[in-house]
């Protein structure tokens, strides 16, 4: 509701000419709210070029710092070390000590078993990632519905709810996405909620933040609080159509309740554990047996590298599925911690600090704010 014009005046029924160019809330607080359109991962859409996703050289060079690669680094190391060990053992048996080790390395594994299961492996991997992406996209649609319903409710409150109740309702609406995020990620932060409520309620915000943070289901508690605040509208002057406003608000709250239920359904119903375990075992068996099929067919020097590349492709693709199957998690956050604290990076802090440090002196004074 922060991007709406003079909430208190409109809710109080004052005569406000929207076409007169009068100062809006954002005009009076230019650095308080950033309403610029951003992507889900925080980038401004105005700063994204159509060529940003085509820099394949940068993508290739950043492979070693990839978060997905870091998550599978242990398995990659173990598989490559195993391939190197098998290769070294075969080389010793064939060339260095054939009389001692030769009888144990005098074998040749055919290629056809790996070729035979390769097609099935590809189908298994595609099915795994498709199922994960469907969950991710369903979660994204839920969050888009949440944004639409909260904006709709904010507009309704700004335009029709009396001024003595509008700030409290707007505070709850603004806190709802954060409360739902914390609910789905399994943590609570009264400080995070306090920062939102204080923007609307000032010193009276601590009570609301504490009430929500201490509840068992934070988003549903906010929905019930909004419903409680708007209930008196049914008894006001019927000529002002307050009852209709209340009905529209209740319909929107019902839609928000459905959003909460839909998000909980995705969060509480992960892909079957047996399926993930079978995929992991299958990949492990395939990659650990691959050196035996390659060591007699190609140069021993490239066997570990080949196994490393094949293992990376399989495990990285599978890990992407694990990450995106939980659209509300923070598995790809680079910093430690959970929730909003996980998204606070040095670059973000420097950018936000620069908004207030208007004179560039390296510190913020009352004149800057």
Whether the CB-CB separation of 316 and 309 falls below 8 Å is answered with no
Which residues, 6+ apart, have CB-to-CB distance to 209 below 8 Å?
Answer: 175, 190, 193, 194, 196, 197
Binned at pLDDT 50, 70 and 90, residue 61 comes out as confident
* pLDDT reading at 13 higher than 80: no
Residue 271 and residue 280: Cα distance in Å, rounded? 14
| Residues facing residue 5 across a β-bridge | none
Question: Tens digit of pLDDT for each residue in 242-279?
Answer: 888 899 999 999 999 999 999 999 999 888 888 888 88
- In the three-class reduction of DSSP (H, G, I as helix; E, B as strand; rest coil), residue 179 is classed as helix
Binned at pLDDT 50, 70 and 90, residue 124 comes out as confident
pLDDT of residue 291: 92
Average of per-residue pLDDT across 350-363 = 66
pLDDT of residue 103: 74
Average of per-residue pLDDT across 197-209 = 83
Q: What is the mean pLDDT of the chain?
A: 79
Residue 343 and residue 334: Cα distance in Å, rounded? 8
* pLDDT reading at 6 higher than 60: no
* pLDDT reading at 17 higher than 50: no
Average of per-residue pLDDT across 79-91 = 92
φ, ψ for residue 171, nearest 5 deg: -65, -45
Whether the CB-CB separation of 160 and 299 falls below 8 Å is answered with no
Question: Tens digit of pLDDT for each residue in 146-172?
Answer: 999 999 999 999 888 888 888 899 999
* pLDDT reading at 7 higher than 50: no
Which residues, 6+ apart, have CB-to-CB distance to 269 below 8 Å?
Answer: none
First to last CA, the chain: 22
Question: Tens digit of pLDDT for each residue in 230-246?
Answer: 998 887 766 667 888 89
- 108 versus 269: which is more confidently predicted? 269
Residue corresponding to tokens 């995929």: 279
pLDDT of residue 263: 94
Instruction: Tokens for 221, please give them.
Output: 């508690």
Record the pTM.
0.72
pLDDT of residue 368: 55
Instruction: Tokens for 132, please give them.
Output: 């994960």
Residue 151 and residue 172: Cα distance in Å, rounded? 12
* pLDDT reading at 137 higher than 90: yes
Q: Which of 127-131, 144-148, 328-332 has the lowest mean pLDDT?
A: 328-332
Whether the CB-CB separation of 164 and 200 falls below 8 Å is answered with no
Whether the CB-CB separation of 173 and 154 falls below 8 Å is answered with yes
Average of per-residue pLDDT across 305-329 = 91
Helix (H) or strand (E) holding 225, with range, is helix 218-230
3-state helix, strand, coil in the chain (%, to 5): 70, 0, 30
From residue 101, alpha-carbon distances to 81, 109, 256, 292 in Å are 20, 17, 69, 16
Opening angle at CA 138, ends 268 and 152, nearest 5: 105
Determine what percent of the chain is predicted with pLDDT higher than 90: 35
pLDDT of residue 363: 64
Residue 192 Cα to chain centre, angstroms? 17
Residue corresponding to tokens 């160019």: 21
Closest by CA to 157, choosing from 237, 223, 230, is 230
Residue 275 and residue 282: Cα distance in Å, rounded? 11
């Amino acid at each position: 509701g922060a991007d709406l014009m003079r909430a208190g005046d409109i809710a109080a029924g004052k005569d406000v000419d929207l076409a007169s160019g009068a100062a809006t809330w954002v005009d009076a607080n230019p650095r308080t709210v950033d309403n610029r359109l951003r992507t889900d991962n925080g980038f401004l859409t105005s700063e994204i070029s159509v060529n940003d996703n085509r820099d394949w050289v940068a993508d290739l060079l950043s492979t070693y710092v990839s978060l997905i690669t870091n998550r599978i680094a242990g398995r990659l190391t173990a598989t490559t070390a195993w391939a190197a060990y098998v290769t070294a053992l075969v080389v010793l048996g064939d060339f260095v000590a054939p009389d001692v080790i030769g009888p144990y390395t005098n074998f040749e594994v055919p290629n056809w078993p790996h070729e035979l299961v390769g097609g099935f492996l590809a189908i298994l991997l595609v099915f795994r990632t498709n199922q994960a992406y469907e969950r991710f996209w369903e979660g994204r649609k839920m969050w888009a519905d949440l944004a639409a319903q909260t904006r709709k409710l904010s507009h309704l409150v700004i335009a029709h709810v009396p001024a003595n109740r509008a700030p409290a309702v707007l505070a709850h609406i603004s806190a709802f996405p954060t409360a739902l995020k914390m609910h789905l990620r399994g943590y609570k932060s009264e400080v995070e909620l306090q920062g939102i409520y204080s923007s609307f309620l000032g010193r009276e915000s601590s009570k609301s933040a504490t009430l929500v943070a201490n509840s068992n289901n934070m988003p549903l508690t906010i929905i019930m609080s909004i419903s409680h605040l708007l209930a008196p509208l049914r008894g006001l002057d019927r000529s002002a159509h307050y009852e209709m406003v209340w009905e529209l608000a209740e319909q929107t709250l019902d839609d928000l309740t459905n959003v909460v239920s839909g998000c909980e359904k995705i969060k509480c119903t992960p892909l079957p554990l047996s399926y993930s375990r079978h995929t992991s075992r299958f990949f492990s068996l395939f990659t650990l047996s691959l050196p035996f099929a390659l060591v007699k067919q190609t140069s021993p020097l490239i066997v570990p590298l080949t196994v490393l590349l094949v293992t990376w492709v399989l495990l990285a693709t599978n890990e992407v599925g694990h990450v995106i199957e939980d659209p509300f998690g923070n598995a790809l956050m680079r910093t430690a911690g959970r929730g909003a604290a996980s998204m606070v990076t040095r670059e973000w802090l420097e950018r936000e600090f620069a908004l207030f440090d208007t004179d560039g002196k390296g510190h913020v004074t009352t004149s800057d704010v």
